[in-house]
Amino acid sequence: MKFFNLKKGVVLVFLLVLQTACKVEPKPINYGDDHCHFCDMTVVDKTHAAEITTKKGKSFVYDAIECMIRELNQNKNEQDLAFILVADYSQPGQLIDARESHFLISKQIKSPMGANLSAFQSLDVAKKYQKENGGELYNWEEIKNKFSK
């Protein structure tokens, strides 16, 4: 009887480890060490970085939102992705869901690859930055379309 309980316990522990090991999550960006998957520049800017994670758990980081969008437009099917994340310009280092974000292209806010593209979680904050810096606001679908040309 003790052997049966031990066996049952080992199986339960194995299943718990397997379940947590299979959890898909984005990886933390190692600023200054990670390289952009699209252009190979070192990712250093915490206000413009981006990351995608596939449903299989593979993560790719980008030094600029425009690099991620260009790669998505060329090579990736969004349905295969668990996470599409962009840095919130107003909260450096904070990654937010790109599909729910608001994007500003403003010549007054420089981004690493020169597209002057920044992301914001809050529409009110994005409008505040637009009022202070000029530029155009976009949602996720609009910004993808702009960079598909």
- Check if the beta carbon of residue 38 is closer than 8 Å to that of residue 10: no
Token pair 């316990």: residue: 9
The predicted model scores a pTM of: 0.83
- Check if the beta carbon of residue 60 is closer than 8 Å to that of residue 40: no
pLDDT in tens, the chain (149 residues): 554 565 565 555 555 555 545 689 999 999 999 999 999 999 999 999 999 999 999 999 999 999 999 999 988 788 999 999 999 999 999 999 999 999 999 999 999 999 999 999 999 999 999 999 999 999 999 999 999 87
Count Cα neighbours of 97 within 13 Å in the Cβ-side half-sphere: 7
Q: Which two tokens stand for residue 118?
A: 């920044």
Phi and psi at 54, nearest 5°, equal -75, 165
